[in-house]
Each structure stands twice: as C-alpha cells, then as structure tokens.
Amino acid sequence: MRVLMVASEAAPFAKTGGLADVAGALPSALARLGCDVTLVVPAYREVFAKGLPVEPTGLSFEVPMGARRLEARIFGGRLPGDAARVYFVANDGCFDRPTLYGGPRDYADNAERFIFFARAALEFAGREERPFDILHCHDWQAGLVPAYQKLVYRGWPMLAGARTVMTIHNMAYQGWFWHWDMLLTGFDWRYFNWRQMECHGQLNFLKTGLVFADAITTVSPTYAREIQQSPGGCGLDGVLAVRSDAITGIVNGIDTAAWDPATDPYLPRGYGPDDVVAGKRAARRSLAERLGREIAEDVPLVALVGRLVEQKGIDLVIEMLGRMAGGGRARFVILGTGSVDTEEALGRLAAEHPGVINVVIGFDEGLAHLLFAAADVVLVPSRYEPCGLTQLYALRYGAIPIVRATGGLVDTVVDATPESLGDGRASGFVFDAFDARALERALERALDAHGDRDLWDGLVRGAMARDWSWDTSAREYVRLFERVRAAPPVDVH
C-alpha cells in the first residue's frame, strides 16, 4: 500500500507539538507493516538549521496561487531508522522564517502558505512514478488536500485512485481565513457554502478537510466522541456528527527509539525498571546542574512539559502552586512557552518560592527528556486533550502522571484505586472536575502514595512495563486504510 503523508511538522526536523512526534514516527511504523510511505513537510528554516541530512533533489515546479505562480523546490531526506522517505517543500518567501506558524500572532499570510503547501504536496506526488493508494492529511495545514485531490487533481494518474484520510490532532485549530482567500485556492466559489468550505462567513481549512476526506480519524477514541458534541467540536460538531460513520479514534503511540530511558542520549546514564531509582537520581543531579539550583533528593519532583496555554490547564497549575508551594511536600519544575501573562505569572511564583518552583521558558527537547527522567510525577491537567503525549513519555520514564479525565488522557491512564492497584492496572492519578482543588487533591494522593515505597515501586514498574509503541496503533491505521481503499470515495457534489 502506497501512502502519502502530508503534515506541517515532523520530528526531528521541525516541531512545535505532538503532531511532529506523530508525523515523525507513524511513517516508520507503517513501513514496518509493509506500507510504502512518503512524508511531505514544509522546508522551514528550522529544518536546515538542525544540521540533519537534507539534500536538494533537483526537482522544482510552479504552484498556482490565485493569479500568480509560486516556485516549489523539493529537498529530500529520510526519517530516523531509514524506513520512510521525507520530502521538504521549499519556498523561501513562505517558509524561510524564524518560527513555523508565527507567534505570538499567526503570520498574516498563513492561508497562502498552507494553500501553497497542500498544492505543492499533490503536485509533487503527482510527479512520482507509482500511484498512491492513501493520502493521509494531518490537521488544518493539510486540510485542503482532500478537496484538491477531488476537485483539481482528479485527472492525475498518480493521485486519481487514492482515498483521503483526514486526521484531527486538535479541533481548536481549524485554519479560519477571510473569504477572499478562496481566490488564492483556485476552487470554484460554489464550494464556499455552509456544507463544504465556509463556516460563519470564513474559509475553514479543517472543515474543508472533514467534508472532502473519505475517512476521518482523531487521536483517541474518547476525543472522537467528544468532538461530535459541543463544546469539544469547537463549532464543527455538527459537521462531524453528519460524518460520524466515517470517524475512527486511534490512540497515538510514541517513538520508543527516540524515547527510551535505557539509551536516551540526553540522560547522564541509561536506566530501566530495575535501576529506576539510581537513574532518576543521576538525572536529577544533571537537572540541578542545568538549572543552577540544588534539588533535594528526598522531596518528590513534580514536572510539567508543554505549551503554557489554557488548553493545558496551566491556570489550574498556577492556582494550585500558589497554595502548595509553601507546604514543602514537593518541588516543581515547569518547562514550556505560552502567553506572556502565563509566563509572567509562573515567573512570579518561581521568584517567590526559589527553592521550590523552577520555571524554564523555552522549547528545549533535551531538557524535556531530562525532566521526564528526573521527575517522580508529571502533571497533565488539561481542559481538553486530543491524545496527549507527555503522560506517555512520563510512563515510559517511570514518572507517574496526574491527568484530568478528558480525551486521550482517559484512554491512556488508569486511576490508582485499591482495585486497580490490586490487579496491576493502575498507572496514574486521574481527577474529573476542571478545578485547581481537584488537581491539588490528586497531587496529594500521589504524594501520599510516593511515601509508601512498595506501593510506589509497584506503580512505577507497572507504568514502565506498558507498551506505547506505535505497532498496535499503526495496525489500526493499516486496517482503516484497507477499508477506505475498498470503499467508493465520498460524494462531494
């Protein structure tokens, strides 16, 4: 089966969040199952700055953009493990910029940038020598691909027989643009209607993908249910409810080679379930050096790694820290970037409690690995969470996650109760209400459990033993690909 994967970021080349982890690992997992996978991502400045092997292919072509044409130059590389090819679409005007999408405000021309990307991905695939069976599109940045395939490139032999799969990594980011951007897409205005591309007067890239794709997936079964209702669907719940037969929830895996505490190059020493205490002690020392602070050995270390935004429940963390920091029961280290207000609020807390709270503002892959290794507990108190990866990294590194019962967190963490501890299923602490007190109570439960050495050791062993490799989920994708390939394409006329 020949799969073209279209994603706006992929680890290790360019990353702002979980999408990159998925796009960087799923192609290799599919390849191991016999799929022939080609990944296409934009050639951002970051891609070249990493020093990874990325070479020009010599291929270039022009992509229509309204009345103009933009040149796409194609670079090539391979994903780690050599299992899948990755191609980068270069156009300096679009992608040679300091960040992927802008920030703090989105780039004003993001519509143009990702119209260009979607078309260039298809123009590239259309020039390959063997036809594709599946076009697997991720998030709004690739949302126009299914519509282009059905409306513009349907006569291209390498693309015509393919089925399209749209994967939602986060419903809240839909790619809303003003209606005049329709002129850049080249689509006929008749598709700008409330059933297809239009949403409240705007052009909506994700909605377009959801309507035109032959199948829809999202990154956990619970999130698949949540997005078919309000508020989880973020205004597109109606669109999704209409297509409920086409939606599948497949939980993300993790790249077990890049995230392996036994071999992780970012750690001072490797460790496994049998020497996790020594491994964590070494990681903590290294972390203390990085932070320029001492970290007490006998106090549990609580970490949070992620975008410091509302979605991630960072407001709960700030409120909880204000109450718990003085108690001396734990040390906290937070790594992330977010809104100025949030970063400042966390900075103030850290300044008020210098021995207790450390806040590192920035995106630092190595420090994230070190934190999961050093931590005893990892916080994921999300307001909503499509899948969530940090709780999975935590489990693999023997840190116990505290999660709110939402989305993929429900599907990946089992609350520690006497019963689940008894039968070995427990893997973390789960709380329901989106409320700082509920988070605080869950953390108190975790800290109490940490005081019981045998119980904690059992919990950590159980957590580290779980298999979150991509193999199971990749098999589900293959089954889905086979199903959609055998069915007729969705009728969009």
CB atoms within 10 A of CB 200: 8
Distances (CA, A) of 491 to 146, 212, 266, 480: 12, 8, 49, 19
Q: Is residue 383 a contact partner of residue 313, using CB atoms and an 8 Å limit?
A: yes
Which CB sits closer to ligand ADP, 90 or 303? 303
CB atoms within 10 A of CB 180: 10
Secondary structure (3-state) at 163: strand
Question: Nearest approach, Cβ of 146 to ligand ADP (angstroms)?
Answer: 22
Share of the chain residues as helix, strand and coil, in percent rounded to the nearest 5: 40, 20, 35
Q: How many residues bind ligand ADP (CB under 6 A)?
A: 18
φ/ψ region of 332 (left if φ > 0, alpha if ψ in -120 to 50, else beta) reads: beta
Site for ligand ADP in 190-229 (CB under 6 A): none
> Which of 274, 365, 448, 467: binder of ligand ADP (CB under 6 A)?
365
Distances (CA, A) of 483 to 286, 428, 477: 49, 35, 10
Instruction: Tell me how far apart the 2 most distant CA atoms of the chain are, in Å.
Output: 69
Q: Is residue 471 a contact partner of residue 83, using CB atoms and an 8 Å limit?
A: no
Which CB sits closer to ligand ADP, 22 or 356? 22
β 176-177/198-199 pair status: unpaired
Report if residue 146 touches ligand ADP, rule: CB under 6 A: no
Report if residue 18 touches ligand ADP, rule: CB under 6 A: yes
Stretch that binds ligand ADP, among 78-86, 139-147, 324-332, 382-390 (CB under 6 A): 382-390
Can you list the positions of beta strands (E) in 163-284? Answer: 163-168, 176-177, 198-199, 202-204, 215-218, 247-249
Report if residue 390 touches ligand ADP, rule: CB under 6 A: yes
Report if residue 17 touches ligand ADP, rule: CB under 6 A: yes
Stretch that binds ligand ADP, among 11-19, 43-51, 266-274, 450-458 (CB under 6 A): 11-19
How many angstroms separate the CA atoms of 362 and 343, rounded? 10
φ/ψ region of 454 (left if φ > 0, alpha if ψ in -120 to 50, else beta) reads: alpha
Site for ligand ADP in 278-317 (CB under 6 A): 305-307
Which CB sits closer to ligand ADP, 8 or 337? 337
How many angstroms separate the CA atoms of 349 and 370, rounded? 22
Question: Nearest approach, Cβ of 260 to ligand ADP (angstroms)?
Answer: 14
Which CB sits closer to ligand ADP, 54 or 379? 379
Question: Nearest approach, Cβ of 67 to ligand ADP (angstroms)?
Answer: 36
Question: Nearest approach, Cβ of 171 to ligand ADP (angstroms)?
Answer: 11
Residue 85 phi/psi, 5° resolution?
-85, 145
Which CB sits closer to ligand ADP, 84 or 335? 335
> Which of 4, 14, 168, 368: binder of ligand ADP (CB under 6 A)?
368
How many angstroms separate the CA atoms of 449 and 454, rounded? 9
Report if residue 21 touches ligand ADP, rule: CB under 6 A: yes
How many angstroms separate the CA atoms of 195 and 209, rounded? 12
Secondary structure (3-state) at 165: strand
Report if residue 407 touches ligand ADP, rule: CB under 6 A: no
Question: Nearest approach, Cβ of 278 to ligand ADP (angstroms)?
Answer: 24
CB crowding 376-406: b at 16 or more within 10 Å, else e = bbbbbbbbbbbbbbbbbbbbbbbbbbbbbbb
Secondary structure (3-state) at 256: coil
Question: Nearest approach, Cβ of 458 to ligand ADP (angstroms)?
Answer: 26
Report if residue 363 touches ligand ADP, rule: CB under 6 A: yes
Considering only CA atoms, give the Rg of the chain. Answer: 23
Report if residue 347 touches ligand ADP, rule: CB under 6 A: no
Site for ligand ADP in 420-479 (CB under 6 A): none
> Which of 110, 174, 286, 337: binder of ligand ADP (CB under 6 A)?
337
Which CB sits closer to ligand ADP, 247 or 371? 371
Give 356's contacts (C-beta < 8 A, 6+ positions apart). Answer: 325, 326, 328, 330, 331, 332
Which CB sits closer to ligand ADP, 21 or 415? 21
Question: Nearest approach, Cβ of 169 to ligand ADP (angstroms)?
Answer: 7
**Residue with the closest Cβ to ligand ADP?**
18
Report if residue 261 touches ligand ADP, rule: CB under 6 A: no
Question: Nearest approach, Cβ of 245 to ligand ADP (angstroms)?
Answer: 27
> Which of 23, 135, 389, 394: binder of ligand ADP (CB under 6 A)?
389
Stretch that binds ligand ADP, among 104-112, 176-184, 332-340, 396-404 (CB under 6 A): 332-340
Stretch that binds ligand ADP, among 185-193, 290-298, 359-367, 440-448 (CB under 6 A): 359-367
Question: Nearest approach, Cβ of 363 to ligand ADP (angstroms)?
Answer: 4
Question: Nearest approach, Cβ of 36 to ligand ADP (angstroms)?
Answer: 27
Question: Nearest approach, Cβ of 387 to ligand ADP (angstroms)?
Answer: 6
Give 95's contacts (C-beta < 8 A, 6+ positions apart). Answer: 42, 43, 44, 45, 89, 113
Tokens of 474: 């990749």
Q: Which positions lie near ligand ADP, rule CB under 6 A?
A: 17-19, 21, 305-307, 335-337, 363-365, 368, 387-390
